[in-house]
């Protein structure tokens, strides 16, 4: 059942846009947060609020990989197996986790804690191989560190993203994607070491962009 | 004097709590906004035109020119949409920018929207980056509270509403017209052009769509002047850009430099190729740009230089692979990606990418024949230029370029009866013996 609070929040999302239908993607994120997956009731609720048919909403929900029709565990663990990460160790990490957890791609452990999947490039290639937990970065992983990560998550040990806050549950994460802040914005660093690689070097060597107004005209001009 | 590296967008990433308004303003942030609000919107467009800024999302279209296409006599509302979908394999510059300094983007959005006279703007960020979504939303909230957004910004009479919108996982939504459909709450599939978004974009209204880095570059241009920007880079590829090195270099990461720098210079800055190995192949601008080899180390990494050498500057996503990596494995994996991400709207791409995977997979297992290489090239020929959008074209790049440079390696799979490479040797932890 979708409760009244969720209904109100779904309407609130639609109202952010000049045309309410633009709210559909974040609304479906909220449905996942409230219900643990995209449920038929969730689809009905979105359809009703936006004046669409359930089929129209389903058609959208099935297009996007982040929407799940089956229940997801507390932690959605995504191993990047796009080429760069795969080569750097992502394939080995994914194989090890499948063995260790006894699940295949897009399957959940019996205790309902971990859903394992392989993901495409997550814009973190400079930290390869990368594992995402509920869409937070866990950078520079090895098969051994990834096993430790999922073991900790299963046994309730608090873990932090390498470039973000302590890891929340998937349902809490989906709420943030729907547009509701969770107060964790100030946790984690501004940037990881790889993001700072060039800047660090520039600082060491005294390199800067030209000063404003002091530019020498380019030879070609 | 400038340096080999020219941090502008990355310059505050090492500042204490750089993502906050206080930190950003302490370094002069939102000064460019005040300056812009004192200018006529057309003068802001002129400044961006004069700077020579070209789109940083891949295609390199001149940003100021794109803005000037917005028909100001059209009575419909105008929209600015920031493309923060960053999903092209290898591309990893916009995400760290938004994580470390979301206000650079927000300030850029306000100035750019003012220039094109939009009263609504959207940042469409891929959904798979939770902390970036948090940082963006907090930045927008802070900007409203400071009066940088909302009604009558700093008494200028100009008003702007900005919404951060999270996507839901689909590479194709980075394609600008698919992004618009997605932002309208539909399946993200590309639209027929014309009409171009400048005329009929979001809600069939005039719309500018720009990449994160393009928009984030605007405050520096307004603050320091177009000549300052154009003093960096090359004649037709002005300014600085973030170069993302990943893979088998000693120090992968973000290196902000004038366009026209070479991979040889960048690898040197990154501490060289992984110890004991050599460069084998690399992508200049993501997986959709034809592969380069060690032959291309001195190609100037600007739009013209890379195109003249047979590839594309793309997103400056430099994925570096050393001699331990099997090019067939790499290309097969990218091809599986395109097959998975094909939106299904047009036949050449939907069916073609499926067939490409079939043929490549059997070659990789050593089960094909030498004729399969010609079959692959023929299939690519039937996709390239016949697809509805550039995803299909991009899917052919790794294949045709790898056959051109590494035909022997494909054939070696056939004589060897499978892949002659040890996948463990290419991993980051190979040296630690963690895998064998
Ligand atoms: C399949 C595909 C994916 C794309 N993904 C992105 C993306 O993630 N981010 C981006 O800025 N541009 C992407 N583009 C390019 C956009 O269509 C568009 O050219 C760009 O956002 C324009 O911004 P710019 O002029 O500032 O570069 C993609 C294009 C294609 C064909
Ligand atoms: S080329 Fe591929 S992604 Fe683009 S419209 Fe055709 S099927 Fe869709
Ligand atoms: S390839 Fe894994 S994050 Fe880019």
Position A219 scores a pLDDT of 42
Report yes or no on A189 lying in a domain: no
Q: Which of A21, A37, A63 is the last residue of a domain?
A: A63
Position B192 scores a pLDDT of 96
pLDDT digits (tens, 9 = 90+) for B308-342: 999 999 999 999 999 999 999 999 999 999 999 99
Nearest ligand to the CA atom of A121: 3
Residue A187 Ramachandran class (φ > 0 left, ψ -120 to 50 alpha, else beta):
beta
Same domain? A10 vs A93: no
Helix (H, G, I), strand (E, B) or coil at B224: helix
Residues of chain A contacting B427 with CB distance shorter than 8 Å: 87-89, 92, 129
Position B430 scores a pLDDT of 82
Q: Tokens at residue A2, please? A: 């979708």
Crossing angle for the helix pair B371-383 and B390-416, to the nearest 10 degrees? 180
Instruction: Determine the distance separating the centroid of ligand 1 and the alpha carbon of B58, expressed in angstroms.
Output: 6
Position B436 scores a pLDDT of 38
A140 in contact with B, Cβ within 8 Å? yes
pLDDT digits (tens, 9 = 90+) for B172-208: 999 999 999 999 999 999 999 999 999 999 999 999 9
Q: Report whether B229 contacts B52 (CB < 8 A).
A: yes
Confidence of residue A34 (pLDDT cuts 50, 70, 90): very high
CA distance B156 to chain A (A): 23
Position B416 scores a pLDDT of 96
Q: Quick count: other Cβ atoms within 10 Å of Cβ B26?
A: 13
CA of B78: which chain A residue's CA is closest? A18
Judged against a pLDDT cut of 90, whether residue B158 lies above it is answered with: yes
Residues of chain B contacting A17 with CB distance shorter than 8 Å: 163
Cβ–ligand 3 distance for B226 under 6 Å, the answer: no
Q: Which atom of ligand 2 is nearest to the CA of B343?
A: 8
Q: Which atom of ligand 1 is nearest to the CA of B85?
A: 8
Whole-angstrom distance, CA of residue B200 vs CA of residue B196? 6
Same domain? A93 vs A152: yes
Residues of chain B contacting A217 with CB distance shorter than 8 Å: 227, 231
pLDDT digits (tens, 9 = 90+) for A71-97: 999 999 999 999 999 999 999 999 999
Q: Report whether B142 contacts B64 (CB < 8 A).
A: no
Position B3 scores a pLDDT of 86
Same domain? A119 vs A95: yes
Whole-angstrom distance, CA of residue A91 vs CA of residue B202? 40
CA distance A155 to chain B (A): 23
Task: Please state, rounded to an integer, the average pLDDT across all residues of chain B.
Answer: 97
DSSP string, B97-137: HHHH-HHHHHHHHHHHHHHHT-SEEEEEE-TT-HHHHHHHH
Same domain? A95 vs A145: yes
Residue B204 Ramachandran class (φ > 0 left, ψ -120 to 50 alpha, else beta):
left
Cβ–ligand 3 distance for A85 under 6 Å, the answer: yes
What spatial distance separates the first Cα and last Cα of chain B, rounded to whole Å?
A: 50
Instruction: Determine the distance separating the centroid of ligand 1 and the alpha carbon of B201, expressed in angstroms.
Output: 15
B204 DSSP assignment: G
For chain B, how are helix, strand and coil distributed in percent, rounded to 5? Answer: 45, 15, 40
Same domain? A26 vs A101: no
Q: Tokens 């050498």: give the residue.
A: B309
Domain that holds residue A137: 75-169
Residues of chain A contacting B345 with CB distance shorter than 8 Å: none
Report yes or no on A40 lying in a domain: yes
Judged against a pLDDT cut of 70, whether residue B433 lies above it is answered with: no
Position A220 scores a pLDDT of 40
Whole-angstrom distance, CA of residue B291 vs CA of residue B279? 12
pLDDT digits (tens, 9 = 90+) for A149-184: 999 999 999 999 999 999 999 999 999 999 999 999
Report yes or no on A32 lying in a domain: yes
* Span A125-130, average pLDDT: 98
How many structural domains are present in chain A? 2
* Span B26-55, average pLDDT: 98
Q: Which atom of ligand 1 is nearest to the CA of B389?
A: 31
Whole-angstrom distance, CA of residue A41 vs CA of residue A5? 15
Judged against a pLDDT cut of 50, whether residue A211 lies above it is answered with: yes
Whole-angstrom distance, CA of residue B174 vs CA of residue B391? 10
Same domain? A57 vs A85: no
Position B278 scores a pLDDT of 98
- Which residues, in sequence order, are CB contacts of A26 under 8 Å at separation 6+? A13, A177, A178, A179, B165, B166
Phi then psi for residue B173, to 5 deg, are: -70, -5
Judged against a pLDDT cut of 90, whether residue A217 lies above it is answered with: no
Cβ–ligand 3 distance for A168 under 6 Å, the answer: no
Pocket test for ligand 2, best of B170, B171, B172, B188 (most atoms within 8 A of CB): B172
Same domain? A57 vs A79: no
Confidence of residue B2 (pLDDT cuts 50, 70, 90): low
Report yes or no on A201 lying in a domain: no
Q: Report whether B104 contacts B219 (CB < 8 A).
A: yes
CA distance B244 to chain A (A): 7
Q: Which of A131, A153, A169 is the last residue of a domain?
A: A169
Q: Tokens at residue B269, please? A: 């800055």
Pocket test for ligand 2, best of B180, B190, B397 (most atoms within 8 A of CB): B190
Query: Quick check: A181 and B141 CB within 8 A?
Result: yes
Report yes or no on A132 lying in a domain: yes
Query: Quick check: A173 and B130 CB within 8 A?
Result: yes
Same domain? A122 vs A160: yes
Confidence of residue A214 (pLDDT cuts 50, 70, 90): low
Q: Mutating which of B88, B338, B429, B434 best tests the A interface, going by the most A Cβ atoms within 10 A?
A: B429
CATH number at residue A58: 1.10.10
Position B432 scores a pLDDT of 58
Q: Which atom of ligand 1 is nearest to the CA of B391?
A: 1
Same domain? A103 vs A129: yes
CATH number at residue A81: 3.40.30.10
A12 in contact with B, Cβ within 8 Å? no
Instruction: Determine the distance separating the centroid of ligand 3 and the alpha carbon of A125, expressed in angstroms.
Output: 4
- Which residues, in sequence order, are CB contacts of B125 under 8 Å at separation 6+? B84, B85, B98, B132, B133, B136, B164, B165, B166, B167
Instruction: Determine the distance separating the centroid of ligand 2 and the alpha carbon of B82, expressed in angstroms.
Output: 21
Judged against a pLDDT cut of 70, whether residue A215 lies above it is answered with: no
Position A1 scores a pLDDT of 83
Q: Tokens at residue A104, please? A: 């295949």
Whole-angstrom distance, CA of residue A175 vs CA of residue A33? 5
Confidence of residue B431 (pLDDT cuts 50, 70, 90): low
DSSP string, A17-43: SSSGGGGHHHHHHHHHHHHSS--HHHH
Confidence of residue A212 (pLDDT cuts 50, 70, 90): confident
Share of chain B above pLDDT 70, in %: 98
Same domain? A95 vs A152: yes
Whole-angstrom distance, CA of residue A216 vs CA of residue B18? 31
Confidence of residue B132 (pLDDT cuts 50, 70, 90): very high
Position B390 scores a pLDDT of 97
Nearest ligand to the CA atom of B347: 2
Share of chain B above pLDDT 90, in %: 97
Q: Report whether B311 contacts B292 (CB < 8 A).
A: yes
Report yes or no on A68 lying in a domain: no
Cβ–ligand 3 distance for B96 under 6 Å, the answer: no
Residues of chain B contacting A75 with CB distance shorter than 8 Å: none
Report yes or no on A51 lying in a domain: yes
Position A221 scores a pLDDT of 36
Q: Give the residues surrounding ligand 2 with Cβ less than 6 Å away.
A: B 172, 190, 342-346, 349-350, 387-389, 391-392
Cβ–ligand 3 distance for A132 under 6 Å, the answer: no
Position A218 scores a pLDDT of 46
Judged against a pLDDT cut of 90, whether residue B92 lies above it is answered with: yes
Query: Quick check: B427 and A88 CB within 8 A?
Result: yes
pLDDT digits (tens, 9 = 90+) for B271-285: 999 999 999 999 999
* Span B220-226, average pLDDT: 98
Query: Quick check: B330 and A83 CB within 8 A?
Result: yes
Q: Quick count: other Cβ atoms within 10 Å of Cβ B41?
A: 18
Judged against a pLDDT cut of 50, whether residue B254 lies above it is answered with: yes
Same domain? A56 vs A82: no
Whole-angstrom distance, CA of residue A21 vs CA of residue A160? 35
Q: Which of A124, A151, A169 is the last residue of a domain?
A: A169
pTM of the predicted model as reported, rounded to 2 decimal places? 0.97
CA distance B89 to chain A (A): 5
Residues of chain B contacting A193 with CB distance shorter than 8 Å: 253
């Amino acid at each position: 059942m979708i409760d009244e609070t969720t209904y109100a929040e779904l309407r609130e999302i639609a109202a952010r846009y000049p045309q309410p239908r633009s709210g559909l993607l974040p609304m479906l994120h909220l449905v996942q947060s409230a219900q643990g997956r995209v449920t038929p009731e969730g689809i009905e609720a979105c359809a009703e609020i936006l004046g669409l048919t359930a089929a129209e909403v389903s058609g959208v929900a099935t297009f996007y990989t982040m929407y799940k029709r089956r229940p997801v565990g507390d932690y959605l663990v995504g191993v990047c197996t796009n080429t760069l990460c795969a080569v750097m160790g992502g394939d080995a990490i994914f194989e090890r986790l499948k063995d260790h957890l006894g699940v295949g791609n897009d399957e959940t452990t019996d205790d309902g804690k971990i859903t394992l999947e392989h993901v495409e490039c997550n814009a973190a290639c400079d930290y390869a191989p990368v594992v995402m937990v509920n869409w937070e970065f866990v950078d520079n992983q090895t098969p051994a560190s990834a096993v430790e990560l999922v073991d900790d998550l299963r046994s309730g040990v608090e873990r932090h993203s390498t470039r973000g806050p302590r890891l929340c549950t998937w349902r809490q994460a989906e709420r943030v994607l729907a547009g509701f802040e969770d107060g964790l914005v100030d946790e984690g660093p501004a940037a990881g070491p790889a993001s700072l690689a060039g800047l660090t070097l520039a600082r060491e060597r005294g390199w800067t962009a030209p000063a404003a107004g002091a530019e020498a005209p380019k030879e070609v001009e | 004097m400038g340096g080999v590296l020219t941090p502008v967008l990355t310059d505050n990433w090492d500042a204490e709590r750089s993502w906050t308004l206080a930190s950003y303003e302490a370094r002069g942030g939102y000064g460019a906004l005040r300056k812009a609000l004192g200018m006529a919107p057309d003068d802001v467009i002129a400044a961006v035109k004069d700077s020579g800024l070209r789109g940083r999302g891949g295609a390199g279209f001149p940003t100021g020119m794109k803005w000037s296409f917005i028909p100001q006599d059209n009575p419909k509302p105008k929209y600015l949409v920031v493309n923060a979908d960053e999903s092209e394999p290898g591309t990893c510059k916009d995400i760290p920018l938004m994580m470390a300094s979301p206000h650079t983007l927000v300030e850029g959005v306000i100035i750019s929207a003012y220039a094109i006279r939009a009263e609504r703007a959207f940042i469409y960020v891929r959904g798979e980056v939770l902390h970036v979504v948090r940082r963006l939303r907090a930045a927008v909230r802070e900007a409203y509270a400071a009066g940088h957004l909302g009604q009558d910004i700093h008494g200028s009479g100009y008003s702007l509403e900005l919404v951060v919108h999270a996507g839901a996982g689909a590479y194709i939504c980075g394609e600008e017209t698919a992004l618009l459909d997605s932002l309208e709450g539909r399946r993200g599939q590309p639209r027929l052009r014309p009409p171009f978004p400048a005329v009929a974009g979001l809600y069939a209204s005039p719309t500018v769509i720009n990449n994160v880095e393009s928009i984030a570059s605007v405050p520096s241009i307004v603050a320091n002047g177009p000549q300052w920007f154009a003093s960096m880079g090359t004649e037709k590829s002005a300014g600085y850009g973030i170069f993302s090195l990943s893979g088998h270099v000693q120090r992968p990461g973000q290196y902000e430099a004038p366009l026209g720098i070479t991979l040889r210079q960048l690898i040197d800055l990154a501490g060289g190729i992984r110890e004991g190995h050599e460069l084998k192949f690399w992508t200049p601008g993501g997986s959709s740009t034809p592969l380069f080899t060690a032959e291309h180390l001195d190609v100037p990494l600007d739009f013209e230089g890379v195109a003249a050498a047979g590839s594309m500057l793309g997103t400056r996503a430099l994925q570096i692979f050393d001699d331990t990596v099997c090019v067939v494995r790499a290309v097969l994996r990218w091809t599986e990606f395109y097959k998975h991400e094909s939106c299904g709207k047009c036949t050449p791409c939907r069916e073609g990418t499926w067939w490409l995977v079939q043929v490549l997979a059997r070659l990789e297992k050593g089960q094909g024949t030498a004729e399969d290489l010609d079959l692959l090239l023929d299939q690519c020929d039937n996709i390239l230029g016949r697809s509805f959008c550039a995803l299909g074209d991009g899917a052919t790049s790794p294949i045709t370029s790898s056959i051109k440079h590494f035909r022997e390696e494909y054939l070696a799979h056939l004589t060897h009866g499978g892949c002659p490479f040890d996948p463990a040797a290419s991993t980051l932890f190979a040296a630690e013996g963690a895998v064998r």
